[in-house]
Amino acid sequence: MTDRALAVVRAGVLTTVQDRGRPGHAHLGVPRSGALDRPAAALVNRLVGNAAGAAVLETTLDGCALRPRAAVTVAVGGAPCPVTVDGRPAAWGAPLEVPAGALLDVGAAVRGVRTYVAVGGGVVVEPVLGSRSTDLLSGLGPPPLSDGAVLPLGDPPGPYARVDAAPQPAPPAELVLRVTPGPRADWFTPEALATFTSRAFRVSAASNRIGLRVEGPALGRARTGELASEGMVLGAVQVPPAGRPVVFLADHPTTGGYPVIGVVRAADLPAAAQAAPGTPVRFTAVRRR
């Protein structure tokens, strides 16, 4: 019987298994998790013939290296990066045949942060609460990849998309985040509210799957003290006492006690996942829909 699995030769600084996540469990304290750049994950799945929700690998900055135990179809997308098979240059953003035993090397991102690797059949680690996603906050799902790990794969899917290259948005040179003010905008001074939507910030190197942290002017409060802990949603912009906003991403906590000055539109969060440290950030206020 064919051994459909991937051996991890080089795990990279942080490579995790991700799918669409596990929404609907916030009342249990479980974040939704899942791929931060969902359109990129769905595209590489489509390129290899998988369903959009199949589990893929999400790398961070420096890629990974894998050795399949059976011949597989692979697609690499998201943050652009060099791709090689047994040292020979291979396609990024298109289906790629990798023979059994060959070394697939997904290199460091040349722009952006997170690269996605889909394999025909998907990664079929054991699901937890309906998802195979790694959740860095709660610890649910498989651990981040380590050298020597072996990942099982599903059965080969049907025909894959035969394209030379699939169009993908470039990582942002400037990150523009549309934000609906509130629910705790009244905790901030008028000057802070004006600063939030008129001044430039920059992505902090302290950002991770839990939240996009920004550097820039501090947002002063109109109230002292702290809120009682309340529910948090994807895209919530929480402001800790130091005054620097944090945009909550897929592994965010489900409750928090710092005031939320606004909530970023979900459609803008994939770009936030690809914004490298130092990228300029602008928040622009939009009306509640």
Q: Give the pLDDT confidence score for residue 224 in this predicted structure.
A: 84
What is the pairing mode between strands 175-181 and 280-285? parallel
Phi-psi map region of 206: left, alpha, beta (phi>0 left; psi -120 to 50 alpha): alpha
Residues 102/67, Cβ–Cβ less than 8 Å: yes
Which of the four pLDDT bands, split at 50, 70 and 90, describes residue 281? Answer: very high
pLDDT of 199 strictly over 60:
yes
Mind listing the pLDDT tens digit for each residue in 73-124? 999 999 999 999 999 999 999 999 999 999 999 999 999 999 999 999 999 9
* pTM reported for the whole predicted model: 0.95
pLDDT of 187 strictly over 90:
yes
Q: How far apart are CA 94 and CA 276, in angstroms?
A: 24
Which of the four pLDDT bands, split at 50, 70 and 90, describes residue 289? Answer: low
The alpha carbon dihedral of 277, 281, 283, 289 has a sign of negative
DSSP 8-state secondary structure symbol assigned to residue 86: T
Which of the four pLDDT bands, split at 50, 70 and 90, describes residue 140? Answer: very high
Q: Which two tokens stand for residue 209?
A: 């799957």
| Second CATH level (architecture) for the domain 175-285 | Beta Barrel (2.40)
Identify the CA nearest to 77 among candidates 249, 280, 274. 274
Q: Which residue has the tokens 């020597």?
A: 148
Query: Across the beta sheet with 150-152, what order do the strands follow?
Result: 88-89, 83-85, 104-106, 64-68, 5-10, 150-152
Which residue blocks in 128-240 are alpha helix, DSSP H?
190-196
Q: Give the pLDDT confidence score for residue 167 in this predicted structure.
A: 82
Q: What separation in angstroms does the CA of 164 have from each of 93, 95, 103, 146, 238? A: 8, 8, 22, 32, 42
Residues 219/261, Cβ–Cβ less than 8 Å: yes
What is the pairing mode between strands 150-152 and 211-215? unpaired
Residues 214-240 have a mean pLDDT of 94
Rg of the chain in Å (alpha carbons): 20
Mind listing the pLDDT tens digit for each residue in 201-212? 999 999 999 999
pLDDT of 70 strictly over 80:
yes
Query: Across the beta sheet with 114-119, what order do the strands follow?
Result: 16-18, 56-60, 114-119, 72-78, 96-98
* E strand spans, the chain: 5-10, 16-18, 56-60, 64-68, 72-78, 83-85, 88-89, 96-98, 104-106, 114-119, 150-152, 175-181, 201-203, 211-215, 230-231, 236-238, 246-248, 255-256, 260-264, 280-285
Q: How far apart are CA 80 and CA 92, in angstroms?
A: 7
Average pLDDT over the chain, rounded to whole? Answer: 95
Q: What separation in angstroms does the CA of 250 have from each of 45, 134, 145, 188, 221? A: 19, 11, 18, 26, 27
How crowded is residue 127: how many other Cβ atoms within 10 Å of its Cβ?
A: 14
How is the chain split into domains, by residue range? 5-152, 175-285
Q: Which two tokens stand for residue 32?
A: 């939704």
